[in-house]
């Protein structure tokens, strides 16, 4: 979008923390509203030339809201990307998905805040040098589905440095679910990404740290998905544990060896129509009803079964059979930021980075972020369907889809993203 060697960049933060009493989203097992605030819920925007990257501390965003923000902001909408960090300790944010319960008034404020953050970042653009590289791979993420499953430990980092040496922004990405905090937590929080940002900003006063959650659909810090279908507390899922994970990642970000990149700033995007299958387990309705009615069932599981029953009445056998998936690439002076919707599995990020890096050379830096410009559900690789499990067989009910995405959907996104990045 700009062929000049001088790159201009700016950044801004807008606090969108709702008050206590807000409905939280991320766990069907969490029955009550937010009882307070542990750390702020924010909108963070970084503008590089006429592109913008926005990260919001929520579990997901609807594609319609993302498109509206892009149209309303002062930049060309083809260069605007709206990302959800996917914290499971944030306010409900996706109408009709992930438990619903969205406050329409707050959601309108969130939309305005995204526009405001982009506009403020654009106003603050100054000439910068683009420094980028990879932090040391840290052992924070685990494959939550199987011990021998793939994990993406890559930690790409971009630092935008003004002429006076001050950092305007630091952008980083890691592929791990922000679910250190469990369903028992009722304090609003950005989870471990908030810790990473706080520590990076402390090292670079005045900068805006922006964290992108990578392809984390099958990755967390080491617990099974079933561990979230309960309100029972866990010693491994506390604010202290989130602090420890954040400290580990922040140290690697701050020690990353970054090199200067130069070149134009460009943006491109495409849409891939993904087919939606029918639910493979809809014949389990009687068992869902039995569990929901049994007083001995764990309250978290009871809540989940009620979600499944509601889905069976409203959506099963109905709904769209196709979803248009937005795929985008931002090229910041040779640093490629690939954005995908939904919850892609870790292998997707590994495949895209490998394909793009082979062509771009050893100094190339490629970020691959999920949860961007819409969050309709999980995107497993084709080989994962044989293993079954929540992400493949059940999660579409919480997302309000008639069924999971067809096998091969993830590979189609890899193909589209790789073609865009290489071009």
Query: How confident is the model over 137-166, as a mean pLDDT?
Result: 96
Query: How confident is the model over 165-175, as a mean pLDDT?
Result: 97
Least-confidence region, from 207-211, 282-286, 355-359: 355-359
Half-sphere exposure of residue 29, counting CA atoms within 13 Å on the CB side? 20
pLDDT confidence of residue 359: 55
The structure's pTM equals: 0.95
pLDDT confidence of residue 422: 84
DSSP 3-state of 141:
coil
d(Cα 367, Cα 387) in Å, to the nearest integer? 28
Residues 158 and 210 in one domain: yes
Query: How confident is the model over 238-259, as a mean pLDDT?
Result: 97
Q: Residue 274 corresponds to which tokens in the numbers above? A: 């993904």
Domain contains 212: yes
Could you tell me which of 397, 374, 378, 410 has the C-alpha nearest to residue 318?
A: 397
Residues 151 and 214 in one domain: yes
Question: 167-174 and 156-162: which strand pairing?
Answer: antiparallel
- For residue range 70-83, what is the model confidence (pLDDT) as tens digits? 999 999 999 999 99
Domain contains 419: no
Residues 189 and 290 in one domain: no
Query: How confident is the model over 235-264, as a mean pLDDT?
Result: 95
d(Cα 237, Cα 184) in Å, to the nearest integer? 9
Residue with tokens 């206590």: 20
**Which residue did the predictor score with more confidence, 228 or 269?**
269
Residue 155 pLDDT greater than 70, yes or no: yes
Query: How confident is the model over 241-261, as a mean pLDDT?
Result: 97
Residue 14 pLDDT greater than 80, yes or no: yes
Helix spans in 78-232 (H): 104-123, 192-203
Range of the domain at 167: 7-264+341-368
In this prediction, what percent of the chain has a pLDDT beyond 90? 84
Residues 348 and 228 in one domain: yes
Residue 423 pLDDT greater than 60, yes or no: yes
Q: Is the dihedral of CA 301, 305, 311, 317 positive or negative?
A: positive
Query: Cβ of 149: how many Cβ atoms within 10 Å?
Result: 17
In the chain, what is the straight-line distance between the N-terminal and C-terminal CA atoms, in Å? 14
pLDDT confidence of residue 200: 98
Q: Residue 3 corresponds to which tokens in the numbers above? A: 């062929």
Domain contains 20: yes
Residue 186 pLDDT greater than 70, yes or no: yes
pLDDT confidence of residue 1: 43
Radius of gyration of the chain (CA): 20
Counting the structural domains of the chain, the total is 2
d(Cα 97, Cα 285) in Å, to the nearest integer? 20
Residues 215 and 306 in one domain: no
Could you tell me which of 103, 122, 118, 133 has the C-alpha nearest to residue 55?
A: 118
Residue with tokens 């929520």: 58
Distances (CA, A) of 182 to 59, 140, 320: 13, 17, 32
Residues 310 and 349 in one domain: no
Cβ atoms of residues 16 and 111 within 8 Å: no
pLDDT confidence of residue 321: 93
Residue 3 pLDDT greater than 70, yes or no: no
Residues 256 and 284 in one domain: no
pLDDT confidence of residue 233: 76
Average pLDDT of the chain, as a whole number: 94
Phi, psi of 405 (to 5 degrees): -70, 145
- For residue range 374-420, what is the model confidence (pLDDT) as tens digits? 999 999 999 999 999 999 999 999 999 999 999 999 999 999 999 99
Domain contains 404: no
Distances (CA, A) of 185 to 127, 181, 228, 408: 42, 6, 11, 36
Question: With bands split at pLDDT 50, 70 and 90, how would you rate the model's confidence at 229?
Answer: confident
Angle, vertex CA 228, rays to CA 57 and CA 218, nearest 5:
70
Residues 122 and 260 in one domain: yes
Residues 304 and 257 in one domain: no
Cβ atoms of residues 65 and 96 within 8 Å: no
- For residue range 344-363, what is the model confidence (pLDDT) as tens digits? 999 999 999 999 875 555 56
Question: With bands split at pLDDT 50, 70 and 90, how would you rate the model's confidence at 47?
Answer: very high
Cβ atoms of residues 210 and 330 within 8 Å: no
Domain contains 389: no
Residues 41 and 124 in one domain: yes
**Which residue did the predictor score with more confidence, 231 or 70?**
70
pLDDT confidence of residue 72: 97
Domain contains 415: no
Q: Residue 264 corresponds to which tokens in the numbers above? A: 């134009």
Residue 138 pLDDT greater than 70, yes or no: yes
pLDDT confidence of residue 360: 56
Domain contains 319: no
Cβ atoms of residues 332 and 159 within 8 Å: no
pLDDT confidence of residue 2: 42
List Cβ neighbours of 292 (8 Å cut-off, separation of 6 or more). Answer: 302, 305, 306, 309
pLDDT confidence of residue 358: 56
pLDDT confidence of residue 226: 78
Query: How confident is the model over 208-220, as a mean pLDDT?
Result: 98
List Cβ neighbours of 105 (8 Å cut-off, separation of 6 or more). Answer: none
Of the residues 322, 351, 368, the one at which a domain ends: 368
């Amino acid at each position: 979008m700009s062929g000049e060697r001088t790159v201009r960049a700016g950044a801004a933060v807008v606090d969108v923390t709702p008050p206590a009493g807000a409905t939280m989203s991320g766990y069907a097992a969490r029955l009550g509203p937010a009882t307070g605030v542990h750390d702020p819920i924010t909108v963070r925007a970084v503008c590089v030339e006429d592109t913008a990257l926005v990260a919001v501390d929520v579990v997901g965003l609807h594609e319609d809201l993302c498109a509206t923000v892009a149209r309303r902001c002062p930049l060309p909408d083809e260069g605007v990307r709206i990302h959800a960090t996917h914290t499971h300790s944030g306010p409900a944010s996706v109408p009709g998905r992930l438990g619903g319960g969205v406050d329409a008034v707050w959601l309108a404020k969130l939309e305005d805040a995204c526009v405001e953050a982009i506009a403020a970042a654009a106003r603050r653009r100054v000439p910068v040098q683009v420094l980028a590289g990879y932090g040391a791979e840290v052992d924070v993420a685990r494959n939550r589905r199987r011990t021998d499953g793939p994990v993406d430990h890559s930690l790409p980092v971009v630092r935008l440095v003004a002429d006076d040496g001050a950092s305007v922004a630091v952008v980083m990405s890691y592929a791990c679910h922000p679910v250190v905090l469990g369903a028992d937590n009722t304090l609003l929080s950005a989870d471990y990404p908030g810790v990473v940002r706080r520590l990076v900003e402390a090292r670079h006063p005045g900068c805006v740290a922006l964290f992108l959650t990578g392809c984390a659909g099958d990755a967390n810090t080491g617990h099974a998905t079933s561990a979230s279908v309960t309100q029972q507390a866990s010693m491994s899922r506390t604010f202290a544990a989130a602090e420890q994970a954040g400290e580990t990642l922040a140290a690697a970000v701050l020690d990353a060896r970054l090199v200067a990149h130069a070149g134009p700033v460009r943006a491109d995007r495409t849409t891939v129509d993904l087919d939606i299958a029918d639910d493979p387990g809809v014949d389990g309705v009687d068992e869902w009803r039995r569990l929901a009615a049994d007083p001995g069932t764990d309250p978290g599981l009871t809540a989940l079964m009620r979600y499944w029953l509601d889905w069976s009445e409203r959506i099963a056998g109905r709904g769209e059979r196709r979803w248009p998936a937005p795929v985008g690439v931002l090229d910041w002076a040779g640093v490629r930021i690939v954005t995908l919707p939904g919850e892609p599995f870790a292998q997707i990020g590994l495949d895209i980075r490998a394909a793009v890096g082979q062509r771009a050379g050893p100094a190339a830096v490629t970020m691959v972020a999920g949860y961007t410009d819409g969050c309709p559900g999980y995107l497993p690789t084709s080989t994962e369907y044989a293993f079954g499990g929540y992400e493949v067989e059940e999660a579409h009910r919480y997302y309000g889809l008639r069924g999971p995405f067809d096998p091969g959907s993830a590979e189609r996104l890899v193909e589209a993203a790789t073609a865009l990045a290489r071009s």
